[in-house]
Structure 1
Amino acid sequence: MNGWRFLVVSLLLGNLGLLGFGLFANNDSQKTIDSPGLRAEWVGIERPWDQAVEVLRAPVAPAPKIDLREGQAQLDSAIENASKQVFENPRNTLVCLLWGPLLQSESARVQEALLNWGGETDRLERQVPVGYVVYLPQDIVNTGVGIDQLSGKGITDMFYITTPGPLQGTISLGLFRDLERANAQKADLARRGVDGVQIRERLGPVRVFFELRGNATEIETVRSVFELNRKGELKPCEGPTGS
């Protein structure tokens, strides 16, 4: 009986000793972990804000040099061009067309069709050329060259012009519709020994023409009116305003 008591007491004392040793060892370990020096070795903390960072900067282009004289010259040129556009005579940009020749009865109808076309209209009356006359001028005729002298050179198609006008007192040596034939007649007369021969347009009856000036849109209106009233011809005017 005493032996069992001794054994129980011994086991109890041994357990108490082990418990005390464990508490003592755990306390030392906690102190070691809480030590600042040892904690830095156990745990590595990254601090990116403490690291040096290389910043790459894009190259900056040098500022352009400013030439004040060149800039002033460009400004003056721009102002001059703008002034020309503002003060340019608008009539210089107009297009001019000539409609004719027309008979008096035809001209009244065309003039009525053009009442509202929007541009400028000038009514003209002209004698229309109908051909060419080859003639001997009056000053040569007055020197004694007449029908008899010309007949002696083999010329048969001739007559005195007595109608009042610029050709009165001359001798006609041929009437032709085109200039080419008139020039051929003049060359033939020169070969026959007739010098001083001239050529002049033959003017026919008076005809009516309309000189029309307007911008591009107005001119298109004129062309449309002409298509509906195809009398005479529609062509550019002679001179800088023609197109």
Structure 2
Amino acid sequence: MAQLRVIVIALMFANLLALAIWKGWLGGGAYPGEPERLSNQLNPERMRLVADVRPVPAPLAAAPVPPLAPAAPEPPAPPAAPAPLVESPTPPGCVAFGGVSAAQLAEINARIASAGPGFKLTESRSGAASSWWVHVPPLGSKEAAERKAAEIRKLGVDDLFIVQDPGPAQFAISLGLYKNETQANRLLESLREKGVRSAQVAGRGATALRVELRGPSDSLATLASDLSERLRGANRLECSP
């Protein structure tokens, strides 16, 4: 019992001692609180500003930019091609022949065919024909006429003969003589269906044949001069192009 009392007194004494220390009764200050601790830490009168003396690094020098190479000059444009010269067309011309016979008409057609394209032949007749002759124009020689007659016979045409009398119709091949032009044209169509392409119809008697030839004036002048020497008995006339 005495021992327990001693323990209780010791505990009380320890508590009093702790209270005295906490209150500062034993000479120490009271336990500083949070405001006092902060004020002791700041000490504003001891603070001073110090300039930052660290060296500032120099800016990196920019790498030099190489100069741009001058642009290559554009090649000069090629010169424009000269415009083609346009030749002025040859003016048309016209020449006429009056009193042309059937044989001479065939010769004119042959000359036009050999002269090339660009020519046009127009026929006109005056007066009344007494008959119409279906024939192949003169071929120039007896041998040529016989060869042509043999070709026509092979096409199934036997009613023919070669004109032997001297004159414009010599060595022509006669295929028929009619008083009616319609009948003559029917025979001509029949012959062409069989393949006789060189036959033609010509009026005989009082008919006067006029031929007008048109084409480029420069070429026509040469052709007309040549025909004037060949067409004996025909009259050279003027006509409108």
Q: Give TM-score, length-normalised by structure 2.
A: 0.29
Structure number with higher helix proportion: 1
Based on CA coordinates, which of the two structures has the bigger radius of gyration?
2
Q: Give TM-score, length-normalised by structure 1.
A: 0.29
